[in-house]
Structure 1
């Protein structure tokens, strides 16, 4: 015992062993929620008038269907397939984000978007978050070679 520090703690220290077993499920749920939000945004915008824009309208509907499908698949995929679904979701979100940024800067398929458009910022943050969460999940759950 040190006079100025009190009794010395001799209990074993906790060693950081990386992510817990719950981490992949937390990321799966977060990733699925972000994909579903991305689908909801695109379906809502398609319904609000984007459906009448050549190429963009069908792309928004396709994005909504793919996003909802990937969200569901992410939740039901067996452990060995999670990395693939997460990677596909990350690529889908990255492509959607790229489309948003291209349409805002140089235009896309003759359509130019504005950051003042309905749900622009929400789309930006949801898609960005989906890329990060799903890429992390893909890396964390990738098959290990022995």
Structure 2
């Protein structure tokens, strides 16, 4: 069951990473600070997704929790108080897909971590 949770976590991280890469290509790359962060999120998320599936260690699971939580927190900040000078008045489908996948990454990574630590 822990293996399944790892795969679900990897899917959540990968979907979020893909959305951030799409948004980066669609123009976020031109925004100071936020543009490079979107690229880093996309590339880092892809690497983390692979590690979640291939490396049976607790570290990628903690990474999945941190990735999902930090990315979700940045999204909430950008739609409320602003994030590095960027305030998004409304969230579209891409943003909601990413947010749901980030919650999924946190929940699945936590479930896998708890399952593996209980052995």
* Fold shared per TM-score above 0.5: yes
Q: Is 1:48 matched with 2:26? A: yes
Which region of structure 1 is more displaced relative to structure 2, 25-34 or 54-63? 25-34
Of 66, 79, 90 in structure 2, the residue corresponding to residue 115 of structure 1 is 90
Please report the TM-score for the alignment, with normalisation by the length of structure 1: 0.76
Query: Within 2, Cα distance between the matches of 1:127 and 1:133?
Result: 10
- The number of residues matched between the two structures is 119
Q: Which residue of 2 aligns with 1:25?
A: 3
Any gaps of 5 or more consecutive residues in structure 1? 1-22
Deviations 1:91-146 (A, max 9, x none): 111000000000100001100013333512111111111111111112221376xx
Larger Rg: 1
Aligned-CA RMSD value? 1.4
Quick one: higher RCO (CA 8 Å, sep 6+), 1 or 2?
Answer: 2
Structure 2 distance, partners of 1:92, 1:59, is: 12
Task: Give the ranges of 4+ consecutive aligned residues of structure 1 lying more than 4 Å apart after TM superposition.
Answer: none
